[in-house]
Amino acid sequence: MFTFLFLVVALAIVVAAVTLAVVGGDSAALPEVAGERLQDPLPADRPVNRADIDALRFPLALRGYRMTDVDDALGRLGAELAERDARIADLESALAGAHAATTSLHKPEEGDHQ
């Protein structure tokens, strides 16, 4: 019986303490909580590049993914984007060189009449 009374009194003290903590504080309104959203989204006006991926940071959330997994995936995406951009630059350079070569082959030289 003594244990039961002790538990009831302890429960009453805990309830009173929680009530005072919640209600008895400052009566001013609490400030609005800023949403945990991505502050710097990816650019909409140009293609994403390696620097965009490197600078991308996701906010922490109660439920989410393992940060190391996200960092690994972003690292791989960034590396693949850099490799893709380098490959595109090489192909554009080769195409420009081929175009210049065909233009010079078809350009008649001065004094050369057929």
Of 30 and 91, more confident: 91
pLDDT digits (tens, 9 = 90+) for 89-105: 999 999 999 888 888 77
Phi, psi torsion values for 62, nearest 5 degrees:
-60, -50
In a domain, 98, yes or no: yes
Residue ranges of alpha helices (H) inside 1-114 are: 2-23, 50-55, 67-106
d(Cα 100, Cα 41) in Å, to the nearest integer?
Answer: 40
Place of tokens 């903590």: 21
In a domain, 49, yes or no: yes
In a domain, 81, yes or no: yes
Number of domains in the chain: 1
Of 28 and 55, more confident: 55
Q: Containing domain of residue 89, as a range?
A: 37-105
Tokens of 15: 């309830």
Tell me the whole-structure pTM to 2 decimals: 0.48
